[in-house]
Structure 1
Amino acid sequence: MKNKLAIALALALYALSGAPAMAQNDQMTPIAAPAQPNAIKLNTGALPGATVQESWHSQYGSVFARNVTQATLTPFLPDPAKATGAAVIVAPGGGFRTLSMNNEGWDVAKALADRGVAAFVLKYRLVQTPKDMDAFKRAMAEMFSGGARAAREPPKESPAVTFAPQIADARAAFALVRARAGEWKVDGDRVGMIGFSAGAMLTMATALHGQDASPAFIANIYGPLAPVKVEADAPPLFVALAADDPLFGNIEYGLVDSWRKAKRPVEFHLYEQGGHGFGMYPKTTTSTGWFDAYTRWLDMHGYLKKKS
């Protein structure tokens, strides 16, 4: 992060990411890193200047990675009998300080693979935080003040600069999927991206500033919706947000307007309730239906069918 606004936003997103409305077990409990036998190291190298190594903890029924210094990509491939050739890069959220690997990563990828879409969970590099869990909690508490307010202010720096390491990780993910498209039975022209919270910020930054990443379609799930400059060839956009999201639920929806003004395809689901970070958690709110709506949208665009 390069400025105080980005830091405050990241902290606000961290504190609110991954928590279901009826949060269970909100305590951060350190755990051993889970086995990730299929994770592939990306060629973006170690995070510059990193001194704290990756660690994991559980919270809200999900598991979170922290201090990621080496980006990886984990494939979740569909049964060849129902594979459509479409693929999605999945970017979990967590304020660029953690990654909600279950709720916004692996569970999403498994559900996509079940629909015939190859999914690849991107564990991107993160801003460094204290190694000790108690110190981490204190640092977050000290720095969180004003984060939600800052989240509503326009950024003072281009995302291409603020999120340069993460955009590089996303670009490497797209390059890897396309390089191994034959092996993974993926059509290189049908690779999209979906992101949650901070991962949605990364998805938008990749689509707008990712140069050769060129996602075929993108999805912003409870990420910021500030207006942006949209090019004539911008990919189709799917947006899902809860109206009671404490960060982005009661502000302008300029991103949607930007896509419409550019005459590019956009679908926007504004759910009455759901809060922030609902992801794949089963809830009593209609926000739980976002994934079915998303896959219907993919189907409408032809991504749940094999290309003729």
Structure 2
Amino acid sequence: MKRLKKILFTAFMAAVPVLLPAQKVFDMNLWQGGAPNSNGDTGDTAKVRVYLPSAKEATGRAVVICPGGGYQHLAMEHEGYQWGPFFNNMGIAAIVLKYRMPHGNPDVPLSDAEEAIRLVRRNAAQWGVNTGEVGIMGSSAGGHLASMVATRSVKDARPDFQILFYPVITMMPDITHKGSHDNLLGKEPKKKTEREYSNDIQVSRVTPRAFIALSDDDHAVLPANGVSYYTELYRHDVPASLHVFPSGGHGWGIRESFKYHVEMELMLRAWLRSF
């Protein structure tokens, strides 16, 4: 009986994921030779915080994380830094991006996100990363930035996969998040510009695979954003996974107070292990 209990206890402990501390964490400026584009804010500097798993646990995969904040500020903790240990525990390097605010110039955050992906690939050998397994993740307005990179960036700035939480996708006035729209494009952009930065319209057959999660009762960023994006991915034969939780509202990130926190993590883990 004692032996049986010992065996069962050992099996249980083996099934419980161990939260390993990041082997190495460090900050660095994103741009070493001066940032391109300008948002008129000289004090707004793009930075990254890099979380590297131990060499023993590293899988070679990495993800650039773009927190949300309506293109006005950044929710750096629960949509950024607090994700580091989660990914490191899976052997994935996490690079949290503090991108510059657009103030009406969308090229500012876009260039930061693209450079963050290039930065990971330039340091691939040193950081234990496979250059063909660099993804991008974003929440809310950060999800718009991530999907913007996923649908338009090319060559060494193109991500290999995307993870989107309750994302802003469209810039069309009837569905978009008004704050993100106004901060990114200005209050009175041309219709052509709104269409250009509506990322569901930009999906193609080469758009990278996606994981999308949101809440049905999100009144800040309408669920139609993420659902429309998934529909276009499906229509273009891009592998995608859409998860709509019954409740939770907006902005839960990796907070344990989110009712479906455990389920969300399990779904994301399963998806990441599926390819």
TM-score for both structures, normalised by structure 1: 0.66
- The runs of 5 or more residues in structure 2 that have no matched partner are 1-24, 171-199
Cα distance in structure 1, aligned partners of 2:53 and 2:81: 13
SS of alignment partner, residue 108 of structure 1: helix
Q: What is the aligned partner in structure 2 of residue 193 from structure 1?
A: 136
- The aligned residue for residue 271 of structure 1 is 245
Name 1:217's counterpart in structure 2: 161
Residues of 2 paired with 1:125 and 1:284: CA distance? 28
Please tell me whether the aligned partners of residues 39 and 102 of structure 2 are also in contact (alpha carbons under 8 angstroms).
Answer: no
Question: Match of 1:39, SS?
Answer: strand
Alignment of 1:101-112 (within 5 A): 101-112=76-87
CA distance in 2, matches of 1:77, 1:113: 6
Aligned to 1:246: 219
1:80 maps to which residue? 55
Flag the 1:296–1:39 CA change in 2: closer, same or farther, 3 A: same
TM-score by length of 2: 0.74
Q: Report the CA distance between 1:74 and its aligned residue.
A: 1.3
Larger Rg: 2
Q: Indicate the SS of the match to 1:241.
A: strand
Where 1:100 maps in the other structure, the secondary structure is coil
1:218/1:238 contact within 8 Å kept = yes
Q: CA offsets per residue over residues 172-214 of structure 1, 9 Å max, x none?
A: 1111111110000000000001100011000011111223311
Matched pairs, number: 218
| 271 and 102 in structure 1: CA distance in 2 versus 1, 3 angstrom threshold | same
Whether the 8 Å contact between 1:280 and 1:288 is mirrored in structure 2 is: no
**How has the CA–CA distance of structure 1 residues 263 and 208 changed in structure 2, closer, same or farther, with 3 Å as cutoff?**
same
Identity of aligned residues (%): 28
| 1:48 equivalent in structure 2 | 38
SS at match of 1:98: coil
Runs (4+) of structure 1 moved beyond 3 Å?
49-53, 248-252
- Provide closer, same or farther for how the CA distance between residues 224 and 284 of structure 1 changes in structure 2, counting only shifts above 3 A: closer
- 1:219 deviation in Å? 1.1
Q: Give the aligned residue type for 2:158.
A: S
The alpha-carbon distance between structure 1 residues 284 and 94, as it changes in their structure 2 partners (threshold 3 A), is closer
CA distance, structure 1, for counterparts of residue 143 and residue 93 of structure 2: 19
Deviation at 1:116, TM superposition (A): 0.6
Alignment of 1:120-199 (within 5 A): 120-127=95-102, 162-199=105-142
CA contact (8 A) 1:91 1:121 kept: yes
Corresponding letter in the other structure for 1:269: H
1:229 aligns with 2:202: yes
Question: 1:191 touches 1:215 (CA, 8 Å); kept in 2?
Answer: yes
Match for residue 256 of structure 2?
282
Native 8 Å contact 2:38 2:108 kept in 1: no
Report the equivalent of 2:146: 203
Deviation at 1:114, TM superposition (A): 1.4
1:3-51 deviation per Cα after TM superposition (whole angstroms, max 9, x unaligned): xxxxxxxxxxxxxxxxxxxxxxxxxxxxxxxxxx822112252772535
Q: Distance in 1 between matches of 2:39 and 2:66?
A: 23
Q: CA RMSD in A?
A: 2.1
Letter in 2 for 1:104: E
TM-aligned CA distance change 1:84 to 1:51, over 3 Å: closer
User: Which structure's relative contact order is higher, taking Cα pairs within 8 Å and 6+ residues apart?
Assistant: 1
